[in-house]
Amino acid sequence: MLSGRDGLGLTQTSDRSSGSPARLPSPPCPIAPWKLVIKGVMSDGISLLKARYCRSILKTASIASDQEARRLIGGLTTERQTDGTTESVASAEKLALSAIDGLAKQLQAKRGGFAPTDWSRAEQAVESWLRAAGE
């Protein structure tokens, strides 16, 4: 039987009879790899994707019929804040989701249409969210 170390810190042994190497694992890393990610960096990226999605839905809803707009904006109200984002992104995301929620409530209350200020408030909040998240 032959043995030696490979470049990964694993002990490699080989049984001449079978010819296939056997790997014995080295001790586990004391820090979980997902905890090595800098706080906020990955979550800010996820938040940015959500902000882009919200902007896209707002644009689509703005040219849709009133009924379609209610459904599209209502669907955005299910979005929740992204965990682990930096403070600036978390604040902008919270304001944008709140503005979208307010718009959805206004659309549900007004069967005959919507107030342009509600739309512009939601759009401006999402644009601020995008800037905070890095776009």
List pLDDT tens digits, range 34-55. Answer: 444 455 567 889 999 999 999 9
**Euclidean distance between CA atoms 63 and 102, whole angstroms:** 19
Look up the pTM and report it.
Answer: 0.68
Asked whether residue 104 carries a pLDDT value surpassing 80, the answer given is: yes
* Residue 25 banded pLDDT, cuts 50, 70, 90: low
DSSP letter for each residue of 41-76: HHHHHHHHHHHHHHHHHHHHHHTS-HHHHHHHHHHH
| Residues paired with 22 in a beta bridge | 13
Average pLDDT rounded to a whole number, residues 4-28: 52
| Residues paired with 23 in a beta bridge | 12
Each domain of the chain, given as residue ranges in start order, spans 2-30, 39-133
Average pLDDT rounded to a whole number, residues 56-69: 93
3-state secondary structure of 31: coil
